[in-house]
Amino acid sequence: MVFSNYIQIVKFGYTRSIDTYLKELRWDAQQSIWGKLCFDKIFQITKNVFDDVLILPYEYLFEYEGFIQQLNIFFERKYLPPNKIVNVTSDQNFVAVMRILSMLIRHGYGKPDKSILPPNMVGGGRFEVNSLQWERPSTNVTRNIRRWSSRIGKRLPTPKNNARKQFQERYRSLFEEHFSDSNYMLNEILQFDLGKFGYVGTD
């Protein structure tokens, strides 16, 4: 989740390394996704609000029809939406090129603090909701940088090392230190076998 979120913000102009990004997440744990990785706490907070709560590991999505079936049972529905890939994972070359181009042409998260962010980061609908007649910020810079990053990245040789796996190996002990107890508690509460998905603290 941390690695995937890093790729998403790189698409929006973030230029720092994933190591720096991880430090920022930990520093701002209350507001960042770092605090949201304590899944047992989220479950307990949610149970304080709702009587019926369904928790499904993300990895269940790889058994698509079974995942949807569990949702249908919970919501008392019978519906099977088409299994379409909507947001394809960006490869390492795209991310590397995007960071370099974003350093040269600052936009989005790469702009100075308090700069105006493009609507693809904060939602274009805010103009309609407030009936504003102001000119919208342009998304052309971000769109063009993504396009060129994709074109250049496809022409570069495929990296030998998998960046995601390297990240997991480099920080495994850090994740174990922070989330093993949380994952263990969630596993005990829900009686899931989270160990088979590689959740630290459950293997």
pLDDT tens column, 74-106? 999 999 999 888 777 888 999 999 999 999 998
What pLDDT shows up at residue 30? 84
> Confidence class of residue 26 from pLDDT cuts 50, 70 and 90?
very high
The distance from CA 136 to its chain's CA centroid, rounded to whole angstroms, is 26
Assign residue 77 a region: left if phi > 0, alpha if psi is -120 to 50, beta otherwise? beta
CA distance 200 to 172: 8
Burial, 120: exposed, middle or buried (Cβ in 10 Å; 0-12, 13-18, 19+)?
middle
What pLDDT shows up at residue 120? 62
pTM of the entire structure?
A: 0.83
The top-scoring range by mean pLDDT among 28-37, 64-73, 118-127 is 64-73
What pLDDT shows up at residue 24? 92
Burial, 1: exposed, middle or buried (Cβ in 10 Å; 0-12, 13-18, 19+)?
exposed
What pLDDT shows up at residue 116? 59
> Confidence class of residue 113 from pLDDT cuts 50, 70 and 90?
low
Tokens of 15: 């230029």
Residue 39 has pLDDT above 70, yes or no: yes
Closest CA to 8 of 84, 94, 85: 94
Please tell me which residue, 128 or 22, carries the higher pLDDT value. Answer: 22
CA distance 140 to 38: 37
Do the Cβ atoms of 139 and 119 come closer than 8 Å? yes
Please tell me which residue, 74 or 109, carries the higher pLDDT value. Answer: 74
Do the Cβ atoms of 118 and 138 come closer than 8 Å? yes
